[in-house]
């Protein structure tokens, strides 16, 4: 029987791309999502790409009894836990909501894993756990710095909970994937990022500005100590990132883990500045992005990019798609949204 993988937050940006990659590898996918930041029609898009419809439940992972019923009804063999809030600024304004959603959902899943003897869980962590590291590229050996935001803190706490739980319970295995900046969209143009309201992240803001939905892009800070003065991030194509989840769950299901808790940087290893991102976008789409340099955004770090050698060696995973392809596919998705 095929492995049944529960994807919390599976209709979201990274979750939907991971559903597609898992299904194309023969996994059965069960999605649980409360649709607070995604849409039901994503399921149809996943079906159009893969030829199969994933099983779907609309629920909040904090609703223990509802999630318990889902475990009872299915033979879940692994979990990929995406469901979470992820806006840094919002987390500063509403910390209790962030701790409630991001931490309580993890706790419920761990209780249910123990109750139903489900061993592996993959957790969506973030490069935010490193803060502004003093040495770049950043490796997994870099210690956490005090979190800059409640959002960042929930990722550090989430990892800590997994470390402690795997140490205490031999029947639980976990891998945290520390995402750098996921962007781009599936080559079909059928799934991508669906920001609600004004996007906080760079790429959706660029595509919406290019599409004429926003007047101009504000570049947060032009006076950083970087070659062109704008901040540097490691942008990673969401399809490459999705594939890392398949490798991670495979590794645990096939008992290939060296330790019962592992964590990996998932990026390209290449830093790009905000201006370089805009240049790549304009080159690939031939559409100009009007922009203006404004003050730095509070809480932003100057520069971060990944050392990915651990994921390359241990997971045998490598990013394949470059910044140009990220921009091309993000634009294709934006154009399809308008149809
Ligand atoms: C941050 C977190 C990341 C989190 C993500 C989710 C860090 C290092 N990263 O990513 O963990 O998952 O938020 O929200 O804390 N920019 C502009 N104008 C804009 C928008 C962004 O200039 O309108 C710039 C930012 O200043 C930054 C870069 O673009 O330099 C990327 O910003 P963004 O897409 O918001 O992601 P991060 O802040 O890097």
Q: What residue owns the CA closest to ligand 1's atom 9?
A: 128
Q: What is the mean pLDDT of the segment spanning 272-288?
A: 98
The Cα–Cα gap between 127 and 304 comes to 8
pLDDT above 80: residue 339: no
- Confirm or reject: Cβ of 145 under 6 Å from ligand 1: no
- Confirm or reject: Cβ of 86 under 6 Å from ligand 1: yes
pLDDT at 230: 98
Ligand 1 centre to CA of 202 (Å) is 6
Question: Which atom of ligand 1 approaches the CA of 297 most closely?
Answer: 26
pLDDT at 298: 87
The partner residues of 178 in beta bridges, in order of sequence, read 125, 265
Q: How confident is the model at residue 22 (pLDDT cuts 50, 70, 90)?
A: very high
Is 151 noted as a catalytic residue in this protein? yes
pLDDT at 133: 92
Mutation probe of ligand 1 site: the residue of 15, 91, 128 with most atoms within 8 A of C-beta = 128
Task: Yes or no: say if 125 and 177 are a contact pair by the CB < 8 Å rule.
Answer: yes
Q: What residue owns the CA closest to ligand 1's atom 16?
A: 202
Ligand 1 centre to CA of 18 (Å) is 22
Q: Specify the pTM.
A: 0.97
Q: What is the pLDDT of residues 27-64, one digit of tens each?
A: 999 999 999 999 999 999 999 999 999 999 999 999 99
Q: What is the pLDDT of residues 192-251, one digit of tens each?
A: 999 888 999 999 999 999 999 999 999 999 999 999 999 999 999 999 999 999 999 999
Q: How many residues are listed for the chain in this entry?
A: 339
pLDDT at 338: 72
The Cα–Cα gap between 268 and 319 comes to 6
Q: At what angle do helices 95-116 and 64-73 cross, to 10 degrees?
A: 30
- Confirm or reject: Cβ of 289 under 6 Å from ligand 1: no
Mutation probe of ligand 1 site: the residue of 216, 297, 304 with most atoms within 8 A of C-beta = 297
Q: How confident is the model at residue 299 (pLDDT cuts 50, 70, 90)?
A: confident
Alpha helix segments (H runs only) across 217-272: 238-253
pLDDT at 221: 98
* Average pLDDT of the chain, as a whole number: 97
Q: How confident is the model at residue 305 (pLDDT cuts 50, 70, 90)?
A: very high
Q: What is the mean pLDDT of the segment spanning 175-197?
A: 96
Ligand 1 centre to CA of 260 (Å) is 31
Q: What is the mean pLDDT of the segment spanning 14-22?
A: 98
pLDDT at 196: 84
Q: What is the pLDDT of residues 120-167, one digit of tens each?
A: 999 999 999 999 899 999 999 999 999 989 999 999 999 999 999 999
């Amino acid at each position: 029987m095929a492995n049944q993988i529960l994807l919390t937050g599976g209709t979201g940006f990274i979750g939907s791309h991971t559903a597609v990659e898992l299904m194309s590898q023969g996994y059965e996918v069960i999605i649980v999502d409360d649709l607070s930041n995604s849409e039901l029609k994503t399921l149809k898009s996943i079906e159009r790409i893969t030829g199969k419809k994933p099983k779907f439940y609309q629920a909040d992972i904090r609703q223990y009894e509802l999630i318990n019923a889902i475990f009872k009804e299915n033979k879940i063999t692994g979990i990929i836990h995406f469901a979470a809030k992820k806006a840094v600024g919002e987390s500063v304004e509403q910390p209790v909501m962030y701790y409630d959603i991001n931490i309580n959902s993890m706790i419920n899943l761990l209780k249910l894993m123990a109750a139903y003897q489900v061993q592996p869980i993959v957790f969506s962590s973030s490069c935010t756990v490193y803060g502004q590291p003093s040495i770049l590229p950043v490796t997994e050996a870099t210690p956490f710095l005090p979190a800059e935001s409640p959002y960042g803190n929930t990722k550090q706490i989430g990892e800590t909970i997994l470390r402690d739980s795997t140490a205490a319970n031999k029947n639980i295995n976990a891998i945290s994937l520390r995402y750098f900046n996921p962007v781009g969209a599936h080559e079909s143009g059928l799934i991508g990022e669906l920001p609600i309201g004004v996007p906080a992240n760079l790429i959706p803001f660029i595509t919406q500005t290019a599409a004429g939905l926003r007047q101009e892009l504000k570049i947060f800070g032009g006076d950083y100590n970087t070659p062109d003065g704008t901040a540097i991030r490691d942008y990673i194509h969401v399809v490459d990132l999705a594939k890392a989840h398949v490798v991670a769950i495979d590794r645990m299901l096939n008992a290939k883990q060296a330790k019962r808790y592992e964590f990996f940087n998932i990026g390209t290893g290449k830093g790009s500045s905000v201006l370089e991102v805009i240049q790549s976008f304009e080159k690939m789409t031939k559409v100009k992005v009007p922009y203006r340099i404004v003050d730095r955004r509070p809480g932003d770090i100057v520069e971060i990019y990944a050392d990915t050698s651990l994921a390359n060696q241990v997971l045998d995973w490598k990013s394949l798609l470059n910044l140009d392809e990220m921009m091309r596919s993000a634009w294709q998705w934006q154009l399809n949204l308008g149809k």
